[in-house]
Structure 1
Amino acid sequence: MRSRKKKTWKKVTAAILSLLVIGGGAYGYTVYKSLNKAVDAMHQPIERKQSEKRDEAVSLKAKDPFSVLMLGVDEREGDKGRSDTMIVLTVNPNNNSVKMLSIPRDTRTEIIGKGKEDKINHAYAFGGVPMAMDTVEDFLDIPIDYYIQVNMEGFTDMVDAVGGVTVQNDLDFSQDGFHFAKGELTLNGAQALSYTRMRKEDPQGDFGRQTRQRQIIEGVVKEGASLSSLTKFSDIFTVLGKNVKTNLTFDQIAAIQKGYKDAGTSIQQMQIQEQGKMINNIYYGLVSSEEKQRVQNELKTQLEL
């Protein structure tokens, strides 16, 4: 979802989960076949042990609350890349909500499997999706059940596939040759990517960037769920198949569509507060034990753990 290799996808593609949650069997056999084909292209299982954070494996058919790690990755030829965007979604069909937590890329934590502390987004570079999942699981002290990895190159395609997104902008700024005035804006894919890239002019820094990122995600969800966008399902599924990898199977996605549909319509944003600090001439975001506990408790409650 992005066409300009700019490190920091700002990814609308938590939308992917929500589009899949909202989408589904109601569109008939043709859509079913298109979704099946897209999921087959997207499916990429990983070798990873059952999480110690759960007594039993999550059951989508039983409508258990579950979690998903969204990774926005900029992969260049010959370089595995880093997960510049990390979003944890916790989905609960019992309270019909999704809680979305953006983890700042500079967050300092132990990299599980590496034996040292580093920026959390380095976990993907060191050990791919499994190490990223293990590290986030340890940091948040919750099970990470599934992952969805999004290629940055597909960002603009996703926004364009749903016909653009509408956001409410509260900061006048320019980025990459685009000017974003205050107020309601309708953005195409290229504009949405630039909108989510800016952080240096934002008084809130990375948190402001994360807010714009979530706006785009919610915009894609809203457009993807609308009747007008459903006529474009073929384009949407084609974009997903080309730019998304996940360990979710078609049957699991079908179970999500059936049992979690209402949860996808209510997305609640979470923030984790950090203090910036230079350590050995490298900038890190440090999270206090109290703040980490607060976030962990909220996520555990959402997952009914």
Structure 2
Amino acid sequence: MTLAAPRVSPERARPLIETHPLRHPDQRDRPSMGRRAWWLLVLNALIPGSAQILAGNRRLGRFGLGATLAGWAVLIVLAGLALFARGAVIWLVTGPLSWLMLTLVQVVLLGCAVLWTVLTVDALRLVRLVKLPAITRWTAPIASLLVLALLAAGAVVASNAAASGRGALSDIFAGGGLSVAPSDGYYNILLLGADSGDGRDSMRFDSISVASINADTGAVTITGIPRELPHPPFSEGSPMLAEYPEGFRSHADSTCGWEAWMNQVRNAAEVCRPDRGSGLYPDAAAHGSAPGIEATKDAAEGVLGIEIPYYVFLDMNGFADLVDALGGVEIDVAERLPKGGPPPGSGAHDVDSWAIGWIEPGRQRMNGDTAQWYARSRYTTSDYDRMKRQRQLQEAILAQFTPENVLTRFSAVADAGAELASTDLPRGKLPEFFDLMMKAKEQPVTRIELTPENGIAEKTPDYELIRKMVRDALHPPVEETPAG
């Protein structure tokens, strides 16, 4: 006799079927499906890949979770390096492997944005939107897509920042001079400012100064050289010394002449020569420089009595962009200054007829346009006053180069820097110089102005006195303690 199997109702059989609240939910229970949807979407946002492991394609989930954990590990390592080994981070970003590292960062961040998009779309598929309560059916995907937009946008912005940094490093440090050791404990850098552009073949440097950076402490001394400093001498070994053994001289010529001033050395060394200065400085272009700049270096060395291996040229046409990229600069304005300049041949006396605006006295945060006019304005003050304002701006910009400010505005700063600056600083020196710049921010800047009020005659400067001023500032005499 065969016994019939007992009949079991579907309701009693349901527990025998494999059930899991996330992987095999009861789709007829809409409140439960709503709670499940929020769990999966929150997990997807916090730990990408976890939603797929719990309720979807486990292979995709393992890949996403692995990428997430790897990303967290890299961030933890970088945070540790930034706190305890900042030099290593600087070396990675600016050193010999910086191009490779920044390219890798860019690719990885774009990959993260794509992966987050894939995982989020898949998570929305897993929650089965048609089975959700009406409110959750709309709010869950909107919230999920907003989180995705924030994460993906952040990754794209960071990727663009890496690309901007790589491009700026390549543009600014395209050449690069020879790497040299500090001279008497200092790195001396010639700082040049001018308006470049089409038609400026006879461009003269409007701002000339030398930054001397202590190689141990980062302390900065900036020496301002008047652009109309007459008959500057050239340093020993300079090709220009053979041309002008008694100091720089003027040259009257209807086609291409110059005054015997510091800012016109470039004309004599480069602009007005048939070979454009290649005979004087044949290696200049290969090292990221130019004959006119090298000749100006040699003149600055002769004037100050120090070795100047590097230069940084700032194009004032891009100066405003850098100031804006840094969020402006804090300046204490001593006197009212006009913006703009008089039409050619009209004279500068009736200021109100041509001024396009005014910079009022008092402490203020300047945007790029105002800062640019603050550095340029010269029709109601002297060149010496303008030199002081330019040095003031240099210090204010240095103060804005905090790690936080640069990181939050990295793309804008990098793009502005690429348009603004050119230099022959070796790229391999960047980690060392960046570290020195951070040290410099903690100390006051020493300024030396070669002006009449400091005892330097305008027409007949005493170059021995100038060299002594610089020497005493960089290496202060040690007072001997009286015996007993």
Q: TM-score range by the shorter chain?
A: 0.7 to 0.9
- One-letter code aligned to 2:410: F
Of 144, 155, 166, 2:330 maps to: 166
Aligned-partner Cα distance in 2 for 1:27–1:44? 18
Amino acid at match of 2:333: N
Cα deviation digits, residues 239-287 of structure 1 (max 9, x gap): 1112211111221112212355302443221111249xxxxxxxx6431
1:37 pairs with 2:201: no
More strand by share: 1
Matched, 1:122 2:122: no
- SS of match in other structure, 2:313: strand
Corresponding residue for 1:102? Answer: 224
Kindly provide the amino acid, as one letter, of the partner of residue 179 in structure 1.
Answer: W
Counterpart of 2:418, as a letter, is G
Are positions 1:261 and 2:261 aligned together?
Answer: no
Q: CA deviation at 1:68?
A: 0.2
After TM superposition, the score normalised by the length of structure 1 is 0.74
Match of 2:460 among 277, 280, 286: 286
Please give the secondary structure, in 2, of the residue aligned with 1:37.
Answer: helix
Q: How many residues align?
A: 261
Q: TM-score, normalised by structure 2?
A: 0.49
- 1:175/1:194 contact within 8 Å kept: yes
Q: Secondary structure at the match of 2:205?
A: strand
Q: Gaps spanning 5+ residues in structure 1: where?
A: 1-21, 51-56, 276-283
Retained in 2: the 8 A contact 1:109–1:139?
no
Assess if the C-alpha contact under 8 Å between 1:224 and 1:230 holds in 2.
no
Q: Does 1:91 align with 2:225?
A: no
**Cα shift readout 1:19-68 (whole Å, capped 9, x = no counterpart):** xxx9x729976667644431221125478xx9xxxxxx8426x9942100
1:270 to 432, 445, 448: 448
Let me know the Cα RMSD of the aligned residues: 3.1
Matches within 5 A, 1:190-269: 190-202=369-381, 205-225=382-402, 227-259=404-436, 261-266=438-443, 267-269=445-447
Q: CA deviation at 1:185?
A: 1.4
Determine whether 1:296 maps to 2:474.
no
Aligned equivalents of 1:260, 1:59: Cα separation in 2: 17
Q: Counterpart of 1:68?
A: 189
Unaligned runs of 5+ in 2: 1-86, 94-101, 106-160, 235-239, 250-259, 270-291, 341-355, 477-484
> Which runs of structure 2 are paired with 1:118-157 in the superposition (5 Å)?
118-127=260-269, 128-157=292-321
Q: 2: distance between equivalents of 1:42 and 1:87?
A: 20
The aligned counterpart of 1:82 is: 204
C-alpha separation between the residues in 2 aligned to 1:159 and 1:260? 18
Question: Are residues 144 and 268 of structure 1, via their aligned partners in 2, closer, same or farther at CA, if it must alter by over 3 Å?
Answer: same
Distance of 1:59 and 1:34 partners within structure 2? 30
CA contact 1:147–1:247 (8 Å) conserved in 2? yes
SS at match of 1:83: coil
* Greater C-alpha radius of gyration: 2
- The answer as to whether partners of 2:337 and 2:380 remain within 8 angstroms in 1 is yes
